[in-house]
Chain A
Amino acid sequence: DQQVKQNSPSLSVQEGRISILNCDYTNSMFDYFLWYKKYPAEGPTFLISISSIKDKNEDGRFTVFLNKSAKHLSLHIVPSQPGDSAVYFCAASGASGGSNYKLTFGKGTLLTVNP
Chain B
Amino acid sequence: DTAVSQTPKYLVTQMGNDKSIKCEQNLGHDTMYWYKQDSKKFLKIMFSYNNKELIINETVPNRFSPKSPDKAHLNLHINSLELGDSAVYFCATRDRPFSGNTIYFGEGSWLTVV
Contacts and interface: CB of A to CB of B under 8 A. Distances in A.
A104 B35 CA distance: 11
A113 B41 CA distance: 21
Interface residues of B, number: 22
A107 interface: yes
Given A96-B98, A97-B98, A99-B56, A44 B41 contact: no
Say which size band chain A's interface belongs to.
20 to 34
Interface in A57-108: 89, 93, 96-97, 99, 101-105, 107-108
Q: Is the interface of B mostly helix, strand, loop or mixed?
A: loop
Contact of A32 (B40, B43, B44, B100): B100
Contacts of A89: 43
B105 interface: yes
B45 interface: yes
B66 interface: no
Interface of B: 4, 40-45, 48, 56, 90, 92, 97-100, 102-108
